[in-house]
Structure 1
Amino acid sequence: MSALDAARRRRSISKVTDQAPTHDELLQFVAAAGRVADHSSLRPWRLIELRGADRERLGRAINKSEGHKGASTKPLRAPLLIAVVVSHRKSSKVPAWEQEAVASGVAHMLSLLLDEAGWGVFWRTGHYTRAKAVAKAHGLKKNESLMGWLYVGGKPERGRPERVRTVDAAEFVSGMPAAKR
């Protein structure tokens, strides 16, 4: 399948099975995803792999951030969660927003690669991504922010063909406005 075909077919799968790529398989996908455009090669990102009890720890941190007891079950919706972290680097050339774009690009490329390999992927965010309890659970440093998680698992069997939504590119592409005289 070409990259164009993979991008056209990509879709978020919010309900996944209990299968997930192994750690070694994940490393192969991350090595490829890390090739996104990166001004000054700062690599202002890192990923945190959450499986098993790590997901329960995250559930407790989410509930703590919301003032609830116990553990949220949200992290248990997939066997593998990949926390996407932007690690801001000091740079006179590369502003913070551009570093966040690189981390986001890695996450998107990783989700595309996982999807193309047959895994179900869904990027989840929420107001608690900026909560202190959640940051602490992930071991974030002062220069880091959590962007969200890729929820990864097996794609469930579907009884009917998947519906592919298309984008009308003409709505989003325009020329440069004419110069004012």
Structure 2
Amino acid sequence: MSVADAATRRRSTSKVTAEAPSHDELLEFVQAAATVADHSELHPWRLLEIRGDDRLVVGRALAEASGAEGHAADKLTEKALRAPLMIAIVLSPVESRKVPEWEQESVASGVAHLLSLVLDDAGWGVMWRTGLWTRSPGVQAAHGLRDGEKLLGWLYVGGRRDDREAKPRTLVDPSRFLSTLS
């Protein structure tokens, strides 16, 4: 299968089973994703592997950041349990006079997207989730972010279910997005 085939076949998987790649498998997938274009090879990103009850730490931080209380807070906390593995994508900018932070954030986003493709290609269900509270102080603190770091979101990863959405991906009309200077 070509890279183009893998890209057009990939679909976000919102419902997954309790299986997830092992730590060692994940290391291989991250190594592949780390080949994304990276001006000056700054590697301005890091990933956090979140499993088990650590997912509840994230869920509670999200609930607190949202201001939800009672049953609403519980429901928001439980959303962190939708997959057995969460991979937090963190922008960890590097001081550079040549590479601005926005470009470094693009690299971190590229790693996340390529990692989602690699995981999908390996047979795992993946969904990239973001939200209003990724940049809230409490959510960032729950992830142990250092000064200057920013949370970009999470890849939720688990086993694919047999009832995975079989609807084909809707492709864009490329002529709407590709033009020339003249």
Larger Cα Rg: Structure 1 or Structure 2?
1
Structure 1 residue 105 corresponds to structure 2 residue 110: yes
C-alpha distance in structure 2 between counterparts of 1:104 and 1:83, whole Å: 11
What letter is aligned with 1:28? E
C-alpha distance in structure 2 between counterparts of 1:68 and 1:133, whole Å: 14
Counterpart for residue 169 of structure 1: 174
Counterpart for residue 68 of structure 2: 68
Aligned length: 177
CA RMSD in angstroms, aligned pairs only:
1.4
Counterpart for residue 115 of structure 1: 120
The 5 A counterparts of 1:8-157 are 8-69=8-69, 71=74, 72-157=77-162
How much has 1:117 moved relative to structure 2? 0.8
C-alpha distance in structure 2 between counterparts of 1:61 and 1:118, whole Å: 30
SS in 2 for 1:127: coil
The verdict on how the C-alpha distance between 1:159 and 1:123 changes in structure 2, with shifts beyond 3 A counting, is closer
C-alpha distance in structure 2 between counterparts of 1:118 and 1:171, whole Å: 32
SS in 1 for 2:17: coil
C-alpha distance in structure 2 between counterparts of 1:2 and 1:159, whole Å: 22
How much has 1:158 moved relative to structure 2? 2.3
Contact 1:89 1:143 in 2 (8 A): no
How much has 1:3 moved relative to structure 2? 1.1
The verdict on how the C-alpha distance between 1:18 and 1:160 changes in structure 2, with shifts beyond 3 A counting, is closer
C-alpha distance in structure 1 between counterparts of 2:142 and 2:169, whole Å: 37
C-alpha distance in structure 2 between counterparts of 1:160 and 1:152, whole Å: 16
The verdict on how the C-alpha distance between 1:19 and 1:159 changes in structure 2, with shifts beyond 3 A counting, is closer
SS in 2 for 1:37: coil
Which structure 1 residue ranges, 4+ long, deviate > 2 Å from structure 2?
67-71, 158-162
How much has 1:170 moved relative to structure 2? 1.2
SS in 2 for 1:128: coil
Contact 2:13 2:164 in 1 (8 A): no
Give the structure-2-normalised TM-score. 0.93
Give the structure-1-normalised TM-score. 0.93
The verdict on how the C-alpha distance between 1:136 and 1:164 changes in structure 2, with shifts beyond 3 A counting, is same
C-alpha distance in structure 2 between counterparts of 1:4 and 1:126, whole Å: 28
What letter is aligned with 1:5? D
5+ residue gaps, structure 1: none
How much has 1:161 moved relative to structure 2? 3.8
C-alpha distance in structure 2 between counterparts of 1:164 and 1:105, whole Å: 21
The one-character-per-residue Cα deviations of 1:60-111 (angstroms, maximum 9, x if unpaired) are 1111112235551111001100000000111000001000000000000000
